[in-house]
Amino acid sequence: MRISSILGTAMVLGMAGCSAPQVKPEAAADTGPTSFPSSYTDWVRLNQVPLMVEGSRSARNLYANPTALSREGANAPFPLGSILVKEERTLVVDAQGQARPGDIFRVSVMFKVGQGQTSGWAFKAFDPATRREMPRDKVDPDGCYFCHADVASQDYVFTRVGR
Ligand code: HEC
């Protein structure tokens, strides 16, 4: 079970703003509520056009499930069961030098599980072809948390979600 090893190393660095109760991370099994969210493209997309920041190597679409959207307000903590998706696509540059989104190479997901050592969120990256979690030598889930910790005051979410 991958999640327990993620949580083990993440804790060593002790992030500020860790407020979630820390009980039984093993309850968040891969087969349970943190498996690949197959219906995410039916959810609300948070961005109008694919996010393609100059210099970045991907185009991104963000999705939120209904539970995440039911958040009390823009600064409220996300309710248990919230799921946010960052669908990451390659960038294809055409003959005119215009970049457009290509194939999906990774589906990065945040699951609000309310426990564990990454402030109540489980961070996972899935291979879109197999829908299985990507191996740690390809993507390091600890890195997810450390980058998202920049927005700990927004419950670790960069994008505005909810009312
Ligand atoms: C270097 C910083 C960085 C790393 C590493 C990173 N993210 Fe993000 N993430 C962002 C930023 C910035 C956004 C805002 C949208 C965008 O520009 O893509 C974002 C957006 C998201 C979102 C949509 C919700 C939000 O916060 O806006 C999810 C879900 C997500 N990331 C999951 C992950 C997962 C899972 C990993 C690890 C596999 C990961 N991220 C690694 C910076 C990072």
Ligand 1: distance of its center to the CA of 109 in Å?
9
Greater confidence, 124 or 98?
Answer: 124
Q: With the CA atoms of 101, 102, 104 and 107 taken in that order, what torsion angle do they form, in degrees rounded to the nearest 10? A: -20
Average pLDDT on 86-91 reads: 96
Predicted confidence (pLDDT) per residue in 30-74, tens digit: 457 899 999 999 999 999 999 987 677 899 999 999 999 999 988
The closest residue, in CA terms, to atom 21 on ligand 1 is: 86
d(CA 144, CA 122) in angstroms, rounded, equals 10
Q: How confident is the model at residue 31, as a pLDDT?
A: 53
Give yes or no for residue 123 having a pLDDT over 50.
Answer: yes
Name all residues whose Cβ lies below 6 A of ligand 1: 51, 60, 62, 84-86, 108-110, 123-125, 139, 141, 143-144, 147-148, 157-159
Ligand 1: distance of its center to the CA of 32 in Å?
22
pTM, rounded to two decimals: 0.83
Greater confidence, 117 or 126?
Answer: 126
Task: Count Cα neighbours of 19 within 13 Å in the Cβ-side half-sphere.
Answer: 9
CA-159 nearest atom, ligand 1 = 27
The closest residue, in CA terms, to atom 14 on ligand 1 is: 158
Ligand 1: distance of its center to the CA of 31 in Å?
23
Ligand 1: distance of its center to the CA of 130 in Å?
21
Q: How confident is the model at residue 70, as a pLDDT?
A: 95
What is the residue-averaged pLDDT of the chain? Answer: 83
Give yes or no for residue 133 having a pLDDT over 90.
Answer: yes
CA-60 nearest atom, ligand 1 = 18
What structural domains does the chain harbor?
Answer: 2-154 (3.50.70)
